[in-house]
Amino acid sequence: MPPEPSAWIPRVLFVDDDPNVLRGIGKALRRQKWDMVFATGGPAGLEEVRQRGFDVVVSDMRMPELDGWGLLRQVRALDPTTFRIILSGYSELNTVPHTPSIAPPLAHQLFEKPCDLRVLAAAVDGSLIPSRFDGWGRRAAG
């Protein structure tokens, strides 16, 4: 039997190849009411998604082995209901790949680095509004 809706805690994954960035995010957002997981690099982030599933994935753009777009492409394929956010340098934002309008976007939101973590937290919270969920903590289709 699924847990009671009131017991649901959103799961948010942060992915960056720089452990110092992840520590800074964790420290700044420690009071949020999310289950936060931190993965160093795209392959580690993808493994977390495959093992646990997340409501929101926040990823750096430039990472070796598996960059942010590659990661979010795979996250979308595994669970298109996952809300996806990319953190990127300004020059990288000008090269954001466009997807056909019939496909869900690779990233629902983009933030320039460094970003105000209060704004990032508000974006994560905004992606978790109850009307987007089916009552059991899973994002409703559509």
pLDDT under 70: residue ranges of the chain: 1-6, 90-104, 130-142
pTM of the prediction?
0.81
- What CATH fold (topology level) applies to the domain 10-125? Rossmann fold (3.40.50)
Which residues contact residue 5 at a Cβ distance below 8 angstroms, ignoring those fewer than 6 apart?
A: 135, 136, 137
Cβ pair 45, 73 in contact under 8 A: no
- Rounded to the nearest angstrom, the gap between the alpha carbon of residue 137 and the centroid of all alpha carbons in its chain is 16
Nearest to 12 by CA among 40, 41, 43, 38: 38
Residues 89-102 as b or e (16 or more Cβ within 10 Å = b): eeebeeeeeeeeee
